[in-house]
A and B are shown apart, each in its own frame.
Chain A
Amino acid sequence: MIEINDLRLSFGSNEVLKGIDLSIEKGQVTVIIGPSGSGKTTLLRCINLLEIPTEGMLRIGDSALSFREGNKPGRGDILAFRRKTGMVFQSYNLFPHMTALQNVMEAQVIVQKKSRAEAKERSMELLGKVGLAGKADSYPHQLSGGQQQRVGIARAMGIGPELLLFDEPTSALDPELVGEVLKVIKELAVEGMTMAIVTHEMKFASQVADRIVFMDEGIIMEQGSPNEVLNHPAQERTRQFLSLLSEPV
């Protein structure tokens, strides 16, 4: 359903992604792990087109975009493609001048041109799903980090994406707030939401992932089921990385 072919991204002479091939089946949860600087966040940002790849191909469903040196897709194509994905950011990036409800409604009204009533109904449903129906009228600064991130998830879900991307969704959270966010993600996984998640929470990864992808230095070193990658890694680099994580898997 989602296909990434030979995706490359360079900033000047610095090649950050060196040819990524990855496919994600509908309803699958793919967890991307790897040391910092390995390009995993950049890969997510490329799928969301916050970074425009230098070369390669991206396909979601039946729409595909090709990238070549010096040839960027048009703005309309980028927008249309981006609207098939939702992004949850490490630092939430909620809109501070809007309530939780308005944060979730905004794109539905402005981008999808839904009526306010329709957008509100859908948004309340999503806030309920992330356990925050009671906080609909709170502004972001009145919410805890975990609550803000759950609003962030509802906002990303609001546009009805085919693929939900999570960029280290719990890294900015106090430890006691991590669980409530992971719980919401697990529930989405059970419902069959297609997701790609960059995380350092290995226990969570082993529970939620259908596939684990290990990235290092801009390439995918190894991928497979959680059991394969986490417990029986084929690559030396994967073993090194996993042994550096103090957390028992």
Chain B
Amino acid sequence: MNDRTAHLTDIFIDSFVPLLMAGIKFTIPLTIISFILGFVLAFLTALARLSRWSILQRVAWFYVWIIRGTPLLVQLFIIFYGLPSIGVVIDAFTAAVIGFSISVGAYGSEIMRAAIQSIAKGQWEAAYSVGMTRSQALRRIVLPQAARVSLPPLANSFISLLKDTSLAATVTLTELFQKGQQITAVVYEPLLLYCEVALIYLIFSTVLSALQHQLEHRFDRYAAR
């Protein structure tokens, strides 16, 4: 093994634990917390979009319109760098959680709305015909089926979110990507370090894909094929 290779191997090994720790300390919690909050927001927004009250429909539509129509990076800058000028100071982690949750809420609500609407009208009618109310039909009959439909696209957004959290580097959060930048600044091996960062994202997302697979498998017991 020549000196250059030995040198790179050392850097790779020395960097691995700090990078992994940055991922475990920030990237993973940021992803999980944002997704949970975003999921709740998405569900409420989807219900609002499908509600009978037009005011709720319009509020939900407006929210989705704004968030989908503007870059996530710009939204993060507004929350972290913009809001302090009107006296709202939020720490970097919270700002990132807010930004990502709002984003997941908007995209996720469209996934859920589509999933709910994909359930055949006959399912609603069958539920009504045995005397269920609208909310009973939704809870007991439509949502369990919609959950199955929405699982793959929601898992997609979960994995997207994992990678999008690298944007939090721009609001001073030392998550996985920024840690990579910091180490690069010292050792100046950008190709090696950024590939290593990519590898760690890949490890995380592979674990998530495996979880998704498990969940889909559990839903499959009633799948007609």
Contacts and interface: CB of A to CB of B under 8 A. Distances in A.
Interface of A: 48, 50, 75, 79, 82-83, 85-87, 89, 91, 93-98, 106-107, 110-112, 139-141, 155-156, 158-159
B182 interface: no
A83 B127 CA distance: 11
**Interface residues of B: mostly helix, strand, loop or mixed?**
helix
A194 to B, nearest CB: 16
B126 A94 contact: yes
B133 A139 contact: no
Contacts of B133: 75, 79
B140 A79 contact: no
Contacts of B126: 87, 89, 93-95, 155
Contacts of A98: 222
Contacts of A75: 133
Contact of B131 (A50, A83, A94, A97): A83
B123 A111 contact: no
B129 A48 contact: yes
B132 interface: yes
A86 to B, nearest CB: 7
B128 A50 contact: yes
Contacts of A82: 128-129, 131
Query: Quick one: which of B122, B129, B141, B221 has the most chain A CB within 10 A?
Result: B129
Nearest to B223: A141
10 shortest interchain CB distances as A-B pairs: A141-B224, A107-B130, A93-B126, A87-B129, A83-B131, A93-B122, A111-B131, A139-B222, A97-B222, A97-B144
Interface in B119-146: 120, 122-123, 125-133, 136, 140-141, 144-145
Contacts, number: 69
B193 to A, nearest CB: 48
A3 to B, nearest CB: 21
B129 A110 contact: no
Interface residues of B, number: 23
Nearest to B130: A107
Which of A86, A87, A93, A159: most chain B CB closer than 10 A?
Answer: A93
A82 B127 CA distance: 11
A82 B136 CA distance: 15
8 contacts: A50-B128, A82-B129, A83-B131, A94-B126, A95-B126, A98-B222, A107-B130, A111-B136
B224 A50 contact: no
A156 B130 contact: yes
Contacts of B144: 97
A111 to B, nearest CB: 4
Contacts of B148: 97
Contact of B136 (A50, A110, A159): A110
Nearest to A112: B131
A162 B155 CA distance: 46
Interface string B76-93: 000000000000000000
B221 A156 contact: no
A95 B221 contact: no
